[in-house]
Amino acid sequence: MIRINSGELKGKNISVPRNSKTRPVTSKMRETFFNLLGSDIRGMVMLDLFAGSGIMGFEAISNGAEKCFFVENSEVMIEFLYKNSMNLDVKDSVRIIRKDAFSFLRNYRPSIHFNLIFADPPYENFNYPRLLEEIFSSKAREEDSLVFIKAASAAVKQLQNFSFRRYGSGDVNLLKF
């Protein structure tokens, strides 16, 4: 179980599968993320890539985001996203898409533009520059969309050709582009 930290749903829990390989965003990192956004989160439409547990999107809705689109490739995690959206009574505020994040970005046909894009890709041997190139060339992104990526500290050096702000100094960082 993961507890929602703030907003309307504060104190409510979401379920995650036992023995899951997902690494949910820590409470401290979520606090940093939502403090950075402040009241700007209100009315935003969020795209949560590699959604996993969905904690970032559920917390965004709790803090006033209008909608969250979860993109996740794991069938097990998709089932938990559906279950949690029902249990939290936010099913009308979410859209759950079972698809590879790269494929989603590449093939997205703009019906909605996302003001906030968050990605929490797998750490091991992940190509962060490719992800950023896909995000920035995707029709899912608006010119002024906020883009955040959760990345292992060791991966940050892959991104030296991109302009970003780094939050955190431990093994895992939140990067704002």
C-alpha 112/C-alpha 97 separation (Å) is: 14
Residue 134: give its domain's CATH number: 3.40.50.150
- Predicted TM-score (pTM) of the model is 0.91
Check pLDDT > 70 for residue 85.
Answer: yes
The answer as to whether 50 is a domain residue is yes
The answer as to whether 83 is a domain residue is yes
Domain containing residue 99: 2-15+29-176
User: Would you state the pLDDT for residue 170?
Assistant: 64
The total number of structural domains that make up the chain: 1
The answer as to whether 48 is a domain residue is yes
* pLDDT tens profile 136-157: 999 999 888 999 998 887 777 7
The answer as to whether 169 is a domain residue is yes
Contact 151, 128 (CB under 8 A): yes
Higher pLDDT residue, 59 or 22?
Answer: 59
* pLDDT tens profile 60-83: 999 999 999 999 999 999 999 999
**Cα separation values, 33 from 58, 59, 139, Å:** 13, 10, 24
Check pLDDT > 90 for residue 159.
Answer: no
The answer as to whether 21 is a domain residue is no
Residue 52 sits at φ, ψ, to 5 deg, of: 55, -120
The answer as to whether 109 is a domain residue is yes
The answer as to whether 20 is a domain residue is no
User: Would you state the pLDDT for residue 169?
Assistant: 66
